[in-house]
Structure 1
Amino acid sequence: MENTIAKRRWIRLIPVAFITYSLAYLDRANFGFATAGGMGKDLHITAATSSLLGSLFFLGYFFFQIPGALYAANQSARKLIFWSLILWGGLATATGLISNVNALIVIRFMLGVVESAVMPAMLIFLSRWFTKTERSKANTFLILGNPVTILWMSVLSGYLIRSAGWRWMFILEGLPAIIWAFFWWRLVNDQPADAKWLTGGEKEALAGQLLLEQADIKPVKNYAAAFRSKTVILLCLQYACWSIGVYGFVMWLPSIINAAPNSNIVHTGWLSAVPYLLAIISMLATSYFSDKTLRRKIFVWPFLLVGAIAFYGSYLVGPNHFWISFILLIIAGGAMYAPYGPFFAIITEILPGNVAGGAIALINSFGALGSFAGAYLVGYLNGKTGSFNASYIFMAGSLLLAAVLTLVAVRNKKV
Structure 2
Amino acid sequence: MDNTIAQSRWYRLIPVAFITYSLAYLDRANFGFGTAGGMSADLNITPEVSSLLGSLFFLGYFFFQIPGALYAANRSAKRLIFWSLILWGILAMATGMVNDVNVLIVIRFMLGVVESAVMPAMLILLSRWFTKTERSRANTFLILGNPATILWMSILSGYLIHSVGWRNMFILEGLPAVIWAVFWWILVNDKPNEAKWLTPAEKEALAAQLEREQQGIKPMRNYGEAFKSPIVIMLCFQYALWSIGVYGFVMWLPSIIKAAPNMDIVTTGWLSSLPYVFAIVGMLTASYYSDKTLNRKAFVWPFLLIGAIAFYVSYLIGADSFWTSFVLLVIAGAAMYAPYGPFFAIIPEVLPQNVSGGAMALINSFGALGSFIGAYLVGVFNATTGGFGLSYIFMSGSLLISAIITMVAIRPAKRVG
Same fold (TM over 0.5): yes
Residue matched to 1:318: 318
What is the DSSP-based 3-state SS (H/G/I as helix, E as strand, rest coil) of the residue aligned with 2:217? coil
Provide the residue aligned with 1:158 in structure 2: 158
Q: Alpha-carbon deviation of 1:7?
A: 2.2
Cα displacement (A) at 1:18: 0.2
Counterpart position of 2:113? 113
Matched AA of 1:162: H
Query: Hey, what does 1:15 align to over in structure 2?
Result: 15
Provide the alpha-carbon RMSD of the alignment: 1.2
Distance 1:12 1:128 in 2: 14
Q: Are 1:188 and 2:188 matched, yes or no?
A: yes
Deviation at residue 295 of structure 1 after TM alignment: 1.1
- Cα distance in 2, alignment partners of residues 2 and 229 from structure 1: 32
Counterpart mapping for 1:51-130 below 5 A? 51-130=51-130
Contact 2:307–2:335, Cα closer than 8 Å, also in 1: yes
Q: Which one is further off, 197-206 or 23-32?
A: 197-206
Q: Which amino acid aligns with 1:210?
A: L
Partner-residue secondary structure (3-state), 1:165: helix
Note if contact 2:220-2:355 (Cα within 8 Å) is conserved in structure 1.
yes
Q: 1:249-264 residue pairs with structure 2 within 5 A?
A: 249-264=249-264
- Could you tell me which residue of structure 1 aligns to residue 354 of structure 2? 354
Partner of 2:201: 201
Residue 133 of structure 1 is matched in structure 2 by 133
User: Does residue 407 of the first structure (1) align with residue 376 of the second (2)?
Assistant: no
The separation in 2 between residues aligned to 1:316 and 1:289, in whole angstroms, is 33
Residues in 1 aligned to 2:4 and 2:205: alpha-carbon distance in whole angstroms: 12
Amino acid at match of 2:95: T
Shift of 1:4: 6.4
CA shift, 1:70, in A, is 0.2
Separation (CA, whole Å) in 1 of partners of 2:143 and 2:3: 24
The CA distance in 1 between the partners of 2:2 and 2:168, in whole Å, is: 47
Query: Is it true that 1:230 corresponds to 2:224 in the alignment?
Result: no
The C-alpha deviation readout for 1:252-285, integer Å capped at 9, x for no partner, is: 0000000001100000000000000000000000
| Residue 240 of structure 1 pairs with residue 240 of structure 2 | yes
Cα separation, partners in 2 of 1:36 and 1:273, compared to 1, 3 Å = same
Map of 2:144 onto structure 1: 144
d(CA) in 2 for partners of 1:21, 1:305: 27
Pairs aligned (count): 415
> Equivalences for 1:249-328 in 2 at 5 Å?
249-328=249-328
Determine the C-alpha separation between the residues in 1 that align with 2:412 and 2:14: 32
Q: Deviations over 1:69-109 (max 9, x none)?
A: 00000000000000000000000001111111011000000
Percent identity for Structure 1 against Structure 2: 76
Deviates more, 1:403-412 or 1:107-116: 403-412
CA deviations over 1:50-80 (Å, ceiling 9, x no partner): 0000000000000000000000000000000
Letter in 2 for 1:93: M
Partner of 1:365: 365
CA distance in structure 1 between the aligned counterparts of 2:404 and 2:198, rounded to whole angstroms: 44
1:247 match: secondary structure: helix
SS of match in other structure, 1:37:
helix
Q: Secondary structure at the match of 1:44?
A: coil
| CA displacement 1:109-156 (0-9 Å, x = unmatched) | 000000000000000000000000000000000000000000000000
Give 3-state SS (helix, strand or coil) of 2:69's partner.
Answer: helix
Separation (CA, whole Å) in 2 of partners of 1:412 and 1:31: 38
Distance apart, 1:414 and its partner CA: 5.6
**What are the superposed Cα offsets for residues 197-227 of structure 1, whole Å, 9 maximum, x if unpaired?**
1111111111011011000111111100000
CA distance in 2, matches of 1:52, 1:345: 32
1 CA distance for matches of 2:135 and 2:413? 17
Deviations 1:154-208 (A, max 9, x none): 0000000000000000000000000000000000100001001111111111101
Query: Runs of 5+ in structure 2 lacking a partner?
Result: none
Question: Unaligned 5+ residue runs, structure 1?
Answer: none
Residue 20 of structure 1 aligns with an amino acid whose one-letter code is T
Do 2:4 and 2:205's aligned partners in 1 also have CA atoms closer than 8 Å?
no
AA at the equivalent of 1:233? I
Aligned match of 1:26: 26
CA distance in 2, matches of 1:384, 1:169: 29
After TM superposition, give the deviation of residue 384 of structure 1 in Å. Answer: 0.6
How far off is 1:407 after superposition?
1.2
Distance 2:331 2:194 in 1: 43
What letter matches 2:68 in structure 1? G
